[in-house]
Amino acid sequence: MIAQLTGRVDAIGEGSCIIDVNGVGYLVHASTRTLSALPQAPATAKMLVETHVREDAIVLYGFADSAERDWFRLLTTVQGVGAKVALAILSTLSPSELVGAIAAGDRASVTRAPGVGAKLAVRVLTELREKAGGMPTGASFAPIQKLPAGPAEEALSALLNLGYRRPEAQPAVARVVERLGDAASLDQVIRDSLKELAR
């Protein structure tokens, strides 16, 4: 099995790239995140690889780091999530954002990935809830805090309506509520949360 490739970047396309290793060009499928991390051709690159052997083909999936590869492996254990859908999810959400979305039960973030409907998103969130905490994030991650009822929940709802994603909005609101206390008004929580998010 091929676990890693080091070679010259020959071409980068939509959803895949070609890595030339000693004159042999390997077609590697990857997330947009991994493809954007590759150097421009003809520079040399190293990719972690997951090899899938099917009856009609040997398919290579490449990753810029081990966190994304580990999440790819985990996502493909969910019924209905094949390699293509797993890459779509990882193109939409980084490993740290994925941990946050699962911890918060944020179905909307997961359904932003092409090919992921509401039912499949719920299945991903449900099946991976117990496993997500021990997964690598590829970056520092502040766990999602549970918000108290009242202005905090309303402020979070307002931020989500403004287009912010739950994994970034919820920690900001939690920090503001912790700082201002339960007596803070809704306007104050929203205003201060927007300042937090602008940093």
* Rama region for 98: left / alpha / beta (φ>0; ψ in -120 to 50; rest): alpha
What pLDDT score does 40 carry? Answer: 82
Residues 189 and 170: beta-carbon distance below 8 Å: no
The two beta strands, 24-30 and 58-63, are parallel
With contact defined as beta carbons under 8 Å apart, do 152 and 158 qualify? no
pLDDT of residue 196: 81
CA distance 121 to 168: 19
Q: Is the pTM of this model over 0.95?
A: no
The answer on pLDDT for 146 being more than 60 is no
Instruction: Band the pLDDT of 134: cuts 50, 70, 90.
Output: confident
pLDDT for the residue 144: 35
pLDDT at 130 over 70: yes
pLDDT at residue 6, as a whole number: 92
> What residue ranges define each of the domains in the chain, with the CATH number in brackets?
4-63 (2.40.50.140), 66-132 (1.10.150.20), 151-198 (1.10.8)
Identify the helix (H) or strand (E) that includes residue 37.
Answer: helix 32-37
